Chain A
Amino acid sequence: MNIFKSAKFRDALGGYLFLLPNFLGFLVFTSLPVLASLVLAFVDWDILTPPKWVAIENFIRLMKDHLFWKYVGNTFFLMMGIPIGMFASLGLALVMNRKIRGIVFFRTVYFLPSISTGVALCMLWRWIYNPDFGLLNSFLAKVGIGGPEWLSSTVWAKPALMIMGLWTSMGGYNMILYLAGLQGISPELYEAADIDGASGWQKFWNVTWPMLTPTTFFIFVMSVIGGFQGGFQAAYIMTGGGPAGATTTISYYIYNNAYQWFKMGYAASIAWFLFLVILIVTLFNWKYGGKVVHY
């Protein structure tokens, strides 16, 4: 029997051919780079001169790098905006989940920042935060508050970025997800609650919130993964990572090390550290967060 004509062989060949274009790209741009960056994490290399094997020295340096830990702290600080943003998105979705006229108009308005060019919004907010002539401080002055220096204050720069992030994302994807979640809840559950004489608040806590836990869990897990890798664009445009490193996040530090200072090895070791943190936190989320979810 000729194995080249057997159905099994033809099936396998077909499978490989279908996979080939994607697999080549996967190899060149994903899986080999993952291995390469793992090797890079153990060398000292500036691209121009030959790489030098330094074993785990990059990681030892990383543990002792005060700046790095400060930037890890910044990243966590900015991530505190995640629950606030989720709360706002849920609130908006609850308000929007009505059959009233003009809802499409409002949805479009809330979604505008999500569809706008991020860099343009960052520039807009840099102007809004201008201490002397910006919109925000002018408004605060009107109600008798002397606004802070916002982006050039080590105290207020991070909250400023968080406020902007809240404004940008509150009516965006997460709200659409919550809206989809809300519309998936069977009306019978609410009717049953009505008959039992439940108040609006009780209905929220005993019907809406439990039924939304899968959505909440999904948004939370994805936002945390994104949060660890985030903060680069806004800081790059608005503060350059300053003042005094107050808005530099982990991803900004990787960017500086790799593409500004050409410390490829050190940058790779930070990237791998970041990966491990994300992995551990995500596994933790799945293990313990999964229990809260009501399916």
Chain B
Amino acid sequence: MESEALKKVKKKKKLKGITNKTIFYILLSLFGISMIFPFLWMVSTSLKEPGEVFTYPPKWIPDPVVFENYSKAWRAVPFGRGYINSTVVAITVTLGQVFTSSLAAYGFARLKFPGRDKLFLAYLATMMIPGAVTMIPVFVLLRVMPEVLNKIFSTDFWSSDLYIGSFFVGKPIGIDSYFALIVPGFFSAYGTFMLRQFFMGIPKDLEDAARIDGCTKMGTYFRIILPLSKPALATLTIFTFMGSWRNFMWPLIVTNSMELKTLPIMLASFQGLYTTDWTLLMAGSIIVMAPVLVVFILGQRFFISGIRLGAIKG
């Protein structure tokens, strides 16, 4: 039963609702336009003739429309290779991280062994440490590793360039290798922490029942814990993949050859080559950005709910 007062208020609300709605739509659209305008400007610039960008006042509709900027940009640096690199790195890093983190999280959440809680505390503590602190020694390690390995095995394999057919795949290890781009990303205290928190919330009875039916620890992990943790695993997957895809400083310092650069780094090098060639720069930016935006727009419900869950748990 609704009280009289509440009914009155609701009636008033309905009348106000219509004007309110208009105001909200206007506000939303104003914000929306300010978001979209720069992107439109980017597209417009990328379709202009080089000289046409230096006109005042700026024209929004290119005349003539020049698609050539895209093919020029595509030829200028190996963006195709950049796509392969970014995709390979992001996928392997994500798989590796979800795998190692979920195993460790299960250990921390469910198994009893000496030193467990102290170790978990150590994991937590490292989450506070800025990336810059650990990045320096890992960089040094990667830098000296090939020479040390060469000396141990008395070869020069570890510092040589590798090819698969005519496809340059960098060094086997150290700076300028896929190893450097991928392997340090396999391990994450954050991922372990997040999954552990989630696993703790899964009722223990299920595992006990499985145990009684003769299921091993590995079996409960694969058959009980992982299937029940799909939302948390999806969230970690989204975060890790996006983090790897956007990562800038690490791939910047561990790659030298253009063939090994991930997309953001390749785009930065591209800018270094064509500093003020705006039509070309904007075309290159769109080449790098557009496919990801399409994927996002198609799967945006999935993305946003994943992010939200991460926010609540984290």
- Chain A residues close to B by CB (< 8 Å): 8, 11-16, 18-19, 21-26, 29-34, 36-37, 40, 47, 92, 95-96, 98, 100, 104, 106-113, 115-120, 123-125, 127-128, 130, 132-133, 135, 138, 141-142, 167, 171, 173, 176-177, 180, 191, 194-195, 218, 225, 228-229, 232-233, 236-237, 251, 254-255, 258-259, 264, 267-268, 270-272, 274-275, 278-279, 282
Contacts and interface: CB of A to CB of B under 8 A. Distances in A.
Interface in B282-304: 282, 285-286, 288-289, 292-293, 296-297, 300-301, 303-304
Interface residues of B, number: 96
B275 to A, nearest CB: 10
B144 interface: yes
Q: Rank and list the top 7 A-B pairs by shortest CB-CB distance, nearest first.
A: A25-B187, A15-B113, A18-B107, A22-B104, A120-B285, A15-B111, A36-B137
Main secondary structure, interface of B, reads helix
Given A14-B217, A22-B101, A26-B189, A176 B304 contact: yes
Contact of B189 (A21, A30, A119): A30
Given A22-B101, A124-B38, A127-B281, A180 B134 contact: no
Given A22-B100, A120-B285, A274-B132, A15 B292 contact: no
Contacts of A128: 38, 41
Given A117-B264, A124-B38, A40 B137 contact: yes
B72 to A, nearest CB: 16
A36 B53 CA distance: 51
Nearest to A191: B6
Interface string B53-75: 11111100000000000000000
Contacts of A92: 31
A110 B249 contact: no
B132 A271 contact: yes
9 contacts: A33-B136, A95-B28, A109-B32, A115-B242, A142-B57, A194-B6, A195-B3, A233-B249, A254-B132
Contacts of A11: 111-113
Nearest to B281: A123
B199 to A, nearest CB: 11
A14 B103 CA distance: 11
A21 B281 CA distance: 42
A229 B268 contact: no
Interface in B7-25: 9, 21, 24-25
A278 B125 CA distance: 13
Interface string B177-221: 000000010110100100000000000000000000000010001
Nearest to A283: B128
Contacts of A120: 267, 285-286, 288-289
A14 B187 CA distance: 20
A25 B267 contact: no
Contacts of B35: 109-110, 112-113, 167, 171
Nearest to B44: A135
B139 A259 contact: yes
B21 A15 contact: no
A127 B278 contact: yes
Contacts of A173: 307, 311
Contact of B312 (A24, A180, A194): A180
Interface string B130-155: 11111111111101100000000000
Given A14-B217, A100-B21, A127 B307 contact: no
B1 interface: no
B122 interface: yes
A212 B108 CA distance: 32
Contact of A106 (B3, B32, B108, B301): B32
Contacts of A110: 31-32, 35
Given A22-B101, A26-B123, A100-B25, A34 B304 contact: no
Contacts of B281: 123, 127
Nearest to B107: A18
B137 to A, nearest CB: 4
B38 A125 contact: yes
A100 B130 CA distance: 42
A177 B133 CA distance: 29
Contacts of A176: 304, 307-308, 311
A279 B133 CA distance: 13
A188 B278 CA distance: 54
